[in-house]
């Protein structure tokens, strides 16, 4: 994918910037509300600004020609355009300054239409807001450095944070498009808010049935790795090349106990039940809903389904011990040691340790 890096020639030069500011009327879309002449005049007083002017339609051919002409004539080395949303014309103006021989990333785009004239009614307030945005852009422009495009290989993988209905759908859809997905949910169970609902408006669907189907689709999808009881503790990198560290909580009960019934009964720890907003209490080994347990098998080495991770929460949080974090077999709660670890995921790829809690 295309990626930006500092151009080989590094920062432009050490002399003071020569900034040109162009404020657009947008044929009245902006100037009917914002005093564009005053915005330009206030920008003109800023250090480094050698030209600040208003124009009826900056994106028009004459408007772009003016920018090109002034870059050459005044040796501008930074350009600020105050106009509509960058999604509309940022690329237009980058091409414009590129044609004039200036690195296209020495450009700042200020949105004074959608973010000012279309949303602020009072002329004075709108003008003040536009002026502050433009002056901030001018200040930023003086710190811009030339960039060039580079190509870097990327892994077609994605990290989805949050195993609510939105995260489940995102993970499923990405996987269907061929991407490897790691779904990280910080609670021990998938489902999020919807797991607490009954009948959904407006369709009348049963929330748990809908969710159960979605969870099964997700956990059965071979391209998706589900990590419940998992916390993102750091992420670094750039678009297309992120490395994310995830800490896994203990999530298992194993051995001879028949999970979940006997394990829950044997568990001596009790705490508030946050699933129903502390209206009741629960054991440290618990399941929040019947749907969360229905595919669980208790034998040693069996994998608990993502929707059914029993989690001795009271024993596990914040530990730094290095035991395997992803066992989904059972340990009586009284001996619930708190394993945790910090596996690393490169560019959202699979975790270094820990098995997926699929059934
Ligand atoms: C009382 C009530 C009734 C509602 N009724 C309806 C209805 O009838 N119809 C309807 O369509 N909608 C309804 N909604 C709205 C619907 O429940 C939500 O829009 C939907 O559940 C939101 O899903 P989500 O995945 O975006 O977020 P959530 O369900 O909140 O899921 C977010 C998930 O991300 C996890 N998470 C958060 N931060 C992190 C992190 N840093 N790392 C890892 N995991 C993280 C959370 O633990 C959670 O599991 C209702 C909501 C409420 C509260
Ligand atoms: S640059 Fe944007 S704000 Fe200016 S005239 Fe064109 S569309 Fe309107």
pLDDT at 212 over 80: yes
Residues at CB less than 6 angstroms from ligand 1: 161-167, 184-187, 192-194, 197, 200-201, 232
The answer to whether the CB of 84 is under 6 A from ligand 2 is: yes
User: What long-range pairs does 322-326 form, CB within 8 A, spacing at least 24?
Assistant: 323/250, 324/353, 324/354, 325/248, 325/249, 325/250, 325/251, 325/353, 325/354, 326/227, 326/248, 326/251, 326/252, 326/353, 326/354, 326/355, 326/356, 326/357
> 241 falls in which pLDDT band (50, 70, 90)?
confident
Q: Quote the pLDDT of residue 102.
A: 97
310 or 62, higher pLDDT = 62
> 283 falls in which pLDDT band (50, 70, 90)?
confident
Mean pLDDT on 122-141: 98
Ligand nearest to the CA of 200: 1
> 310 falls in which pLDDT band (50, 70, 90)?
very low
- Cβ-based neighbours of 355, under 8 Å, separated by 6 or more: 303, 326, 327, 328
Percent of the chain with pLDDT over 90: 60
> 267 falls in which pLDDT band (50, 70, 90)?
confident
pTM summary value: 0.60
Q: Quote the pLDDT of residue 2.
A: 46
Q: Quote the pLDDT of residue 256.
A: 56
Q: Quote the pLDDT of residue 139.
A: 96
Q: Quote the pLDDT of residue 253.
A: 64
Ligand nearest to the CA of 307: 1
Q: Quote the pLDDT of residue 65.
A: 98
> 350 falls in which pLDDT band (50, 70, 90)?
very low
- Ligand 2, atom 4, residue with closest C-alpha: 26
Mean pLDDT on 68-78: 97
* Residue of 30, 56, 57 to mutate, ligand 2, most atoms within 8 A of C-beta: 57
Q: Which residue ranges form the domains of the chain, and what is each CATH number?
A: 2-150 (3.40.50), 157-246 (3.50.50.60), 261-346 (no CATH)
Q: From CA 135, how far away is CA 40, in angstroms rounded?
A: 10
The verdict on whether omega for the bond into residue 260 sits within 30 degrees of 0, i.e. cis, is yes
> 17 falls in which pLDDT band (50, 70, 90)?
confident
pLDDT at 125 over 80: yes
Mean pLDDT on 204-223: 94
Q: Quote the pLDDT of residue 291.
A: 62
> 120 falls in which pLDDT band (50, 70, 90)?
very high
Of 131, 102, 122, the residue nearest 44 (C-alpha): 131
> 240 falls in which pLDDT band (50, 70, 90)?
confident
Q: Give the 3-state secondary structure of the chain.
A: CEEEEECCCCCCCCCCCCEEEEEECHHHCCCCCCCHHHHHHHHHCCCCEEEEEEECCCCCHHHHHHHHHHHHHHCCCEEEEEECCHHHHHHHHHHHHHHCCCCCCCEEEEECHHHHHCCCCCHHHHHHHHHHHHHHHHHHHCCCCCEEEEECCCCCEEEEECCEHHHHHHHHHHHHCCCEEEEECCCCCCEHHHHHCCECCCCCCEHHHHHHHHHHHHHHCCCEEEECCEEEEEEEEECCEEEEEEEECCCCCCCCCCCCHHHHHHCCCEEECHHHCCCCEEECCCCCCHHHHCCCCCCCCCCCCHHHCCCCHHHHCCCCCCCCCCCCCCCCHHHCCCCCECCEEECCCCCCCCCCCCC
Of 109, 68, 94, the residue nearest 147 (C-alpha): 94
The lowest-confidence range among 125-139, 212-226, 267-281 is 267-281
State pLDDT tens for residues 19-59. 999 999 999 999 999 999 999 999 999 999 999 999 999 99
- Cβ-based neighbours of 123, under 8 Å, separated by 6 or more: 33, 34, 35
106 or 317, higher pLDDT = 106
CB atoms within 10 A of CB 64: 22
Burial-class residue 3 by CB neighbours within 10 Å (0-12, 13-18, 19+).
Answer: middle
State pLDDT tens for residues 141-172. 999 999 998 888 888 999 999 999 999 999 99
Give me ligand 2 centre to Cα 6, in Å: 29
Give me ligand 1 centre to Cα 199, in Å: 15
pLDDT at 302 over 90: no
- Ligand 1, atom 45, residue with closest C-alpha: 162
Q: Quote the pLDDT of residue 259.
A: 55
pLDDT at 177 over 90: yes
To the nearest whole number, what is the mean pLDDT of the chain? 79
Q: Quote the pLDDT of residue 261.
A: 64
- Ligand 1, atom 42, residue with closest C-alpha: 186
> 304 falls in which pLDDT band (50, 70, 90)?
very low
pLDDT at 223 over 70: yes
* Residue of 193, 202, 227 to mutate, ligand 1, most atoms within 8 A of C-beta: 193
């Amino acid at each position: 994918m295309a990626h930006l890096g500092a151009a080989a020639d590094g920062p432009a030069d050490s002399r003071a910037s020569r900034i040109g500011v162009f404020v657009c009327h947008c044929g009245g879309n902006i100037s009917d509300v914002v005093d564009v002449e005053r915005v330009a005049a206030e920008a003109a007083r800023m250090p480094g600004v050698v030209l600040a002017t208003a124009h009826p339609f900056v994106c028009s051919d004459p408007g772009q020609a003016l920018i090109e002409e002034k870059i050459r004539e005044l040796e501008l080395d930074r350009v600020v355009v105050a106009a509509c949303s960058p999604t509309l014309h940022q690329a237009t103006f980058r091409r414009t300054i590129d044609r004039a021989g200036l690195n296209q990333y020495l450009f700042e785009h200020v949105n004074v239409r959608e973010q000012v004239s279309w949303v602020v009614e009072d002329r004075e307030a709108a003008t003040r807001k536009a002026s502050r945005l433009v002056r901030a852009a001018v200040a930023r422009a003086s710190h811009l450095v030339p960039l060039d495009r580079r190509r870097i290989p990327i892994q077609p993988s994605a990290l989805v944070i949050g195993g609510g209905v939105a995260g489940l759908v995102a993970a499923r859809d990405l996987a269907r498009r061929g991407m490897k997905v790691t779904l990280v949910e910080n609670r021990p169970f998938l489902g999020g808010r919807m797991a607490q609902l009954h009948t959904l408006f407006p369709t009348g669907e049963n929330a748990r049935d809908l969710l159960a189907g979605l969870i099964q689709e997700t956990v059965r999808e071979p391209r998706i790795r589900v990590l419940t009881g998992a916390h993102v503790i750091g992420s670094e990198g750039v678009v297309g090349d992120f490395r994310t560290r995830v800490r896994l909580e203990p999530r298992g009960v194993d051995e001879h106990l028949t999970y979940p019934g006997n394990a829950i009964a044997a568990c001596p720890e009790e705490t508030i039940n946050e699933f129903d907003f502390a209206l009741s209490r629960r054991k440290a080994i618990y399941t929040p809903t019947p749907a969360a347990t229905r595919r669980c098998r208790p034998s040693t080495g069996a994998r608990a389904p993502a929707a059914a991770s029993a989690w001795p929460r009271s024993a596990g949080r914040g530990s730094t011990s290095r035991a395997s974090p992803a066992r989904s077999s059972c340990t009586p709660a009284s001996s619930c040691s708190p394993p945790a670890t910090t596996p690393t995921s490169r560019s959202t790829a699979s975790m270094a340790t820990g098995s997926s809690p699929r059934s």
